[in-house]
Amino acid sequence: MTNPARAPSRLHPAIVFAIICLCLALIIWLVSYAVPLTLAGQAYLLLIVLLAFRYWPPMIRWVASMPVTHRVVFGVLIGSMILGHYTLNGRTYFPYVVWEIFPFAHEDDPVTCREFIATTESGNKVRLLVEQLFPSIVQIGPLDGYSAETTEHLARVLAKAYNQQHPGDPVWRVDLMVMAVKLPPPAGESRAQPSCELLKRYDISSGQ
């Protein structure tokens, strides 16, 4: 005995999709009293993207062709990325992190940044950058986030690393400077360097 063929749906898939989107929007609006709107809104938009793929025939065919184990792997990999993003945590569950790049507007004016400027034996001025002297580190945190002791320790470590690479012209002194750039630039002023102010000076030549 064979099953009778299923009657085709009367609603166009686009209409079904629109109805689902509206229903989801309603749910998001309801839960937004309990969940922050930034989370609920992102979840809503992501669900729309996922739903579009869910109802796209080649994707249905591809997923249906997968053995169960492969479907589990696919689901775990994609699901973990999404869950990791919604933890809003960039460290604990690495590599499943929150994906935020330029996520908010800065209001800083002028824009400031602390930096180590070294003076070498021959009088040259050089920037001591952690990311260049220790290339394993992709990015270090802002220097104003560290204690005075840690900042001094870091200055000495960077000077030592620089001196190992440039034994002919070693660092004698490291200045912790705060660099500042105004937005917009002062009228008629042409800048060769950002304005800078000395915060602290570390004597390296004494070997302390």
Partner 1 sequence: MRASQTLRHLIGPIELLHEQAGPRLLRLTRLGIFALWIVKLLLDPLWRLAEMPRELFQPVGILALLPASAINELLTSNGLAALLVFTLGVLVLALTDKAFPVVATVAAVLLTAYSSLIRSFGPAVHTDIVLLLAVYALAGFAWADWIALKFGGKKSLPGASSYPLITIVAMLCLSYCLVGLSRTVAGGLSVFTGDTMEVWTIDASLRGYYFNTNIGWHVPEWPAVVFMLRSGLPFITLFEITAPLCLVSSHYRWIFIPVMFSFHLLSLLFMNIFFFDDMLLYLLLVDWSRRYPALRAPSHPERA
List helix spans (H) across the chain: 13-31, 37-54, 57-65, 68-86, 130-133, 148-165
| The two three-digit tokens of residue 50, written as one number | 């996922």
CB of 207 to partner 1, least distance (A): 16
Residue closer to partner 1 (CB basis): 5 or 183: 183
The three-state DSSP-derived secondary structure of 138-176 is: CCCCCHHHCCHHHHHHHHHHHHHHHHHHCCCCCEEEEEE
15/83 with CB nearer partner 1: 83
Q: How far is the CB of 148 from partner 1 (least distance, A)?
A: 11
| Closest separation in Å from C-beta 166 to partner 1 | 15
Q: How far is the CB of 157 from partner 1 (least distance, A)?
A: 6
Cα 124 to Cα 99, 148, 162: the distances in Å are 41, 25, 13
Nearest CB to partner 1, comparing residues 11 and 36: 36
DSSP 18: H
Closest CB to partner 1 among residues 3, 92: 92
